[in-house]
Amino acid sequence: MPAIPTRETWLQRLQEETRGKTESDLTWQSPEGIPYHPLYSSSDLTQHNYQEELPGFPPYTRGVRASMYVGRPWTIRQYAGFSTAEASNRFYRSCLSAGQKGLSVAFDLPTHRGYDSDHPDVLADVGKAGVAIDSVEDMKCLFDSIPLDQVSVSMTMNGAVLPILASYIIAAEEAGVPRDKLTGTIQNDILKEYMVRNTYIYPPTPSMRIVADIIEFTSKEMPHFNSISISGYHMQEAGANAVLELAYTIADGLEYVRAALKRGLDVDTFASQLSFFFGIGMNFYMEIAKLRAARRLWHEVLQPFHPKDPKSSWMRTHCQTSGYTLTAQDPYNNIVRTTVEAMAAVLGGTQSLHTNSFDEALSLPTDLAARVARNTQLILEEETDLIHTVDPFGGSYFMESLTTDLCNRARTLLEEVESCGGMIEAIQKGIPKRRIEEAAAAKQARIDSREETIVGVNRYQNPEEPEIPVRTIDNAEVARSQCESLKVLKASRNPTAVAEALQALTQAARDPHANLLPATLAAMRARATVGEVSSALEAVFTRYEAPIVLASSTYMKNYAHPEKIEKICAAIAAFAKTEGRQPRILIVKLGQDGHDRGAKVIATGLADLGFDVDIGPLFQTPAQAVQQAIENDVHVIGISTQAAGHNLLVPQVLEALRNAHASDIRVVVGGVIPPQDYPALLKQGVAAIFGPGSDIPGCAEQILAALPRRSTP
């Protein structure tokens, strides 16, 4: 018999086949700093003290149920919402008839931020990035003819969570479905809003009270409804790597558990109603390991609370494929990216899944793109063998080692958070936000310097980009329709009853022992609006404004070939020499769009290249942005947009500059903008447009070329 090969003989063969390269030469460092060795063996499991586990048993690394998909496949739950409640309702019913198994509601930004559609500061955002909901009547329309006792509903809502959840409960009850029959999830995860997504309304302390109120109410009144979905997805979208997303999501969950326990609730009365939400990116093995590690860690951190019910320490997860990995260039490639990510989520053991549409780097998805995304899941379930065995990676030398490495690194970050006094204290110190923004800037630098390949973007570009049909929303018509509905509502309701209910809600907010959901239910049942309820709470809690922090030097430190950008750095230095100061740019977010990854990354990159960079506060109006630009004497305003409000907000900036006799200040725009909109924006006076995938040195070069020279050499 031939001799059994040893690791030494393998190393010798490896060097022969790779012209002398060693195992170290071929070891890849992941963005998390975890090495991927070219070979794993049983010795790696020994080093990690691996002990065989089974699905359905603690610590649930291999799945919270023994049967997993061989018993029941994951739930296909596509996240969607746009325009009016009527339009979204038609879309939902079509999706359910085509095989979708649950609904996941996307609300527009004014709704998230607690504004009614007729508020003057939000008109450009109404119905753009989700469905506009102002009242119970809108919610009833949203779910018209949908059996809420049979269809589970997930709602991504955090800031205006009280009036939205109350509207859903009332809409169901008025359709004949009692609250104890409702199934689904309300996101209700406010802590991640302060880190990354920014659709908060109130400061952290009263916001955490609201979270605890909802956990308390639903644990007693809605036993089949999940009181919170603790979200790492938005952290990943903002730039977090797998370790950051894993650790900070667990830390948020711990904070919510403690908040509920302070109410006197027993852990077994609410912990089984907590769920989690993770993003799934393109590092296939890492994403599988992340879900396995998350279940193990959650079981581990729950044990000090002494749960008696095994379900209390189950981590049940919803996953969504990455929006950040979608490219505007060669967008049909996104179908492949989404498929890879969906497979990782399934192999990692998710309970439900949303697959993004291939056109979402350009606009809200068209019906065709949404169908392809949904069918991606149906194909994985119906046409492959993925569901016929439980945790197929269990026992893999590589996967078990990677899972343990992730756990260990996440524990280190969890210990850092605990040393701060918990997640609220860590957030107030800016630690998670800074780490995530640094990770985002580092990733952009790797992409811009081609250390990371993005097919169709920085390599293998398509010389003939296909024209992709996009969904367009008539924002003016949606806003008009919503404003008219609000007028009808206010004319038909009892104004005294509404005023009394809102006053009672304000009084409840002043009472730290009152649960705010019953008072909100009373106000919404009297037909108060989302904006009115939010204002009644704001009168006590105030509206929160986040501090602005900019990471420095991260981009340049991670740019692999700095010699390739010497030309643009020299040009910036030459501008400063002839003009007497650095080129100065104000980066702004307009309207209610709080997604600021792009703004922060471009600000960091431009600052590292030599620009003098100012960042405006979130949620500015065009007039406020122009005023700040003039006061700061900037050369250019850079508008970052992701919520489709550019066609209204950018022209308002240009008009405000003309009215202030400041048209020498140039305007550039970047973000999710359909190419079809470029000509109109350029014609109105925009100097340059940068779509997703634009590299920062290239942006800097175009911005510099557009700047007026106020003096001569």
CA-based nearest residue to 560, from 694, 453, 419: 453
Active-site residue among 112, 128, 140, 234?
A: 234
**Helix-, strand-, coil-residue percentages of the chain, each rounded to 5:** 50, 10, 40
CA dist., res. 572 & res. 694, Å (int): 19
CA 397 to chain centre: 32
The reply to whether 595 belongs to the active site is yes
Q: Assess contact for 104 and 75: CB atoms under 8 A.
A: no
Active-site residue among 69, 168, 233, 248?
A: 233
The reply to whether 233 belongs to the active site is yes
In sequence order, the β-bridge partners of residue 277 are 231, 318
CB within 8 A of 7, min separation 6: which ones? Answer: 39, 41, 43
Cα Rg, the chain, nearest whole Å: 26
The reply to whether 48 belongs to the active site is no
Q: What is the DSSP letter of 90?
A: H
The sign of the torsion formed by the CA atoms of 259, 263, 267, 271 equals negative
CA dist., res. 622 & res. 599, Å (int): 16
The reply to whether 121 belongs to the active site is no
> For residue 615, how many other CB atoms are within 10 A of its CB?
22
The reply to whether 589 belongs to the active site is yes
* Residue 229 φ/ψ, nearest 5 degrees: -120, 105
CA dist., res. 501 & res. 512, Å (int): 18
Task: Could you list the beta-strand ranges (E) of 83-187.
Answer: 102-105, 152-155, 184-186
Active-site residue among 112, 595, 600, 635?
A: 595
Classify residue 305 by burial, with Cβ atoms within 10 Å: 0-12, 13-18, 19+. middle
CA-based nearest residue to 289, from 335, 347, 241, 337: 347
> For residue 499, how many other CB atoms are within 10 A of its CB?
14
Q: Assess contact for 390 and 396: CB atoms under 8 A.
A: no
Joined together, the tokens standing for residue 208 give: 């955490």
| 580 φψ region: left (φ > 0), alpha (ψ -120 to 50), beta (else) | left
* Residue 695 φ/ψ, nearest 5 degrees: -85, 145
Q: Which residue has the tokens 């963005």?
A: 31
CA dist., res. 42 & res. 47, Å (int): 9
CA dist., res. 521 & res. 214, Å (int): 12
3-class SS string, 565-610: HHHHHHHHHHHHHHHCCCCEEEEEEECCCCCCHHHHHHHHHHHHHC
CA dist., res. 702 & res. 693, Å (int): 15
CA-based nearest residue to 658, from 680, 681, 634, 684: 684
Q: What angle do helix axes 204-221 and 516-525 make, rounded to 10 degrees?
A: 80
CA-based nearest residue to 349, from 302, 383, 315, 308: 315
* Residue 72 φ/ψ, nearest 5 degrees: -160, 125
Active-site residue among 299, 589, 600, 646?
A: 589
CA-based nearest residue to 437, from 670, 620, 605: 605
Active-site residue among 60, 69, 79, 115?
A: 79
CA dist., res. 103 & res. 81, Å (int): 10
CA-based nearest residue to 443, from 31, 28, 27: 31
Active-site residue among 125, 134, 213, 593?
A: 593
Q: Which residue has the tokens 């309701």?
A: 493
First-to-last alpha carbon distance for the chain, in angstroms, is 83
Q: What angle do helix axes 161-174 and 204-221 make, rounded to 10 degrees?
A: 20
Catalytic residue positions?
79, 233-234, 589, 593, 595
